[in-house]
Structure 1
Amino acid sequence: MSLRAAATTTVAALAAALAAALPVVVAGQAAATPVPQPPAATEGNRAAAREAAGSPGTLDTLSRFFAREGRISAAAARPRIEGETIPVHYLSPDFVAGRADAPVSRMEFLVSKAVSSDGQQAALWTAKTGAGWQVVNIATGDDEFRYGAVGARKLPGGTVFREPQIDAWYVSGGGRVLPLDEDAVRAVGDRGTTLAAYRARVVKAYGDKLPGSAYARGGKAGGYDAAAVAPGAPGAAGAGAGAPAEAVAAAAAAAGPAPGPESGLLPVIGAASAGAAVLALLGVRRVRRAQTTA
């Protein structure tokens, strides 16, 4: 089993790499500026996200992505989109802020699964932008789909969500929050906890790290520095579908290892209203580490 761990990098480096590697904006078009994400995944949203994931430009980028380590050639990768496009939920900043009736999580992006001819898998994060639904990140593996299935079995009808600050996955429903991986078990125990107790824990952990806090203004939000964002990021002018996907891997490699929870450098929750798909690309990369599903 594997799970992504967050690692910080510079806004400018990663935004530039993504602009070069992902076919989100072509030269001469207006920048794909972030916009608030829909509160739920409608059939129309899913269809638009899946269309973006399966576009010729995205598939071309995926071919190079799957070939980046030399296991297969780009020509032989023949990527395809499999299964349903699903919503991904993250811990909600409104819940952490203690706002009345705020749900524990909110939809941050939609994700589609890509598979290469040799069985490699990748998750295509798709978010709504000023230019429509676009692919904003490619991540190895199938965490979102795997934990979605685990959560559905553990609590049918519940909502699976991620607490990105500690890389933990949960399922919530009926006033309970249940763990889906070992990070979540460490946070809430193997039997889970009540929604009220979970709120108390995240308020204590992150209540002083919300947008607008001194922590955020001090630039400790996973390396996010608003002054460093190039105009129009993540879709900088001049980006095209023909640019090398290896730029993503190069930027990620330059970022170095992820800071552990003990470092105190936790990403600010809800750093922008556009959803973590667009936001994470401005200060976070995704890699994998060994992990056990609860």
Structure 2
Amino acid sequence: MNTRATGAGLLVTTALVLLGALPAAAEELPSAPTPEQAASAPRTLDTLSRFFARDGASARTAAAPRVEGASVPVRFLSPDFVAGKPGAPVARVEFRASRAVSPDGRKASLWTVRQPGGGWQVVNIATGDDEIRYAELGHGFVFREPQIDAWYVLKGAKVLPLDEDAVRAVGRNGTSLAGYRERVVRAYGDKLPGSSYARKGAAGGYDAPAPASHERPAVAAVGVGAGLVLALTAWATVRGRRAGRRA
């Protein structure tokens, strides 16, 4: 199944479009006291082996992966910031991500969320390591504007670009936080949850074409906890990711 955003401002895309339909019998991965322990649990590594071995890319026996380093917080542009709620930060943490590496060097990102009863659980595996790579590059308050797949770092009261999509949005020298808010209000202010756009169930409506330079070709939602990630990010589409089959 191929799922692609048709516009750059899809704030109310449904959860199924966001990450693709969940597998009918998704595997639930174990909870652990920390994101790192959840990411490196034996069952998680076994699921990763199957993820890397999908489509015959490599034999499962040769795809024993490893998890590298600490997890990082992944922040998305906050609808409260767009709506102008007093004190709202520009972005909020949606999940934590850990980098997984296969023996042949391919990378994946493990998305981990805190469970209501305590502990952390891996709920998604995405091809590539954008989440960790941009966190390392930015060295600070890094966040993503998922509608255009742009990554930024907040330095004081200035929003600086970390990739070409962000450069196209705010210029190579960035913009002030106030200037950035003006831009996202123009782009998304009428598409927030509760808007007439949302009530219509619109799945498009923004004319800017989605650039094709940062596609991530596979996502596998795992576990019943995947619904939590979908709910957390249901206001914003994840561009350029294809729905993945069960890992």
Q: Give the TM-score normalised by structure 1.
A: 0.63
Tell me, what secondary structure is at the counterpart of 2:172? coil
- Tell me the residue number matched to 1:159: 141
- Tell me the residue number matched to 1:225: none
Alignment of 1:1-294 (within 5 A): 11=16, 14-17=20-23, 20-24=25-29, 48-130=34-116, 132=118, 133-152=120-139, 158-220=140-202, 261-262=208-209, 276=229, 279-280=232-233, 287=240
Give the number of the structure whose residues are more often helix, by fraction.
1
Distance 1:205 1:276, change over 3 A: farther
Q: Percent identity?
A: 58
Distance 1:161 1:61, change over 3 A: same
Alpha-carbon distance in structure 2 between the residues aligned to 1:195 and 1:275:
29
Alpha-carbon distance in structure 1 between the residues aligned to 2:189 and 2:82:
6
Structure 1 unaligned regions, length at least 5: 26-31, 33-44, 153-157, 223-258, 264-273, 290-294
Farther off after superposition, 95-104 or 126-135: 126-135
Alpha-carbon distance in structure 2 between the residues aligned to 1:122 and 1:287:
15
User: How big is the shift at 1:282?
Assistant: 10
Distance 1:204 1:281, change over 3 A: closer
User: How big is the shift at 1:216?
Assistant: 1.4
- Tell me the residue number matched to 1:36: none
User: How big is the shift at 1:57?
Assistant: 1.9
Tell me, what secondary structure is at the counterpart of 1:16? coil
Tell me, what secondary structure is at the counterpart of 2:179? helix
User: How big is the shift at 1:111?
Assistant: 0.6
Alpha-carbon distance in structure 2 between the residues aligned to 1:286 and 1:57:
29
Q: Looking at both structures, which has the greater relative contact order when contacts are Cα pairs under 8 Å and sequence separation is at least 6?
A: 1
Alpha-carbon distance in structure 1 between the residues aligned to 2:94 and 2:193:
16
Distance 1:173 1:285, change over 3 A: closer
CA contact (8 A) 1:15 1:282 kept: no
| Paired residues, number | 214
Aligned-residue RMSD, C-alpha = 3.3
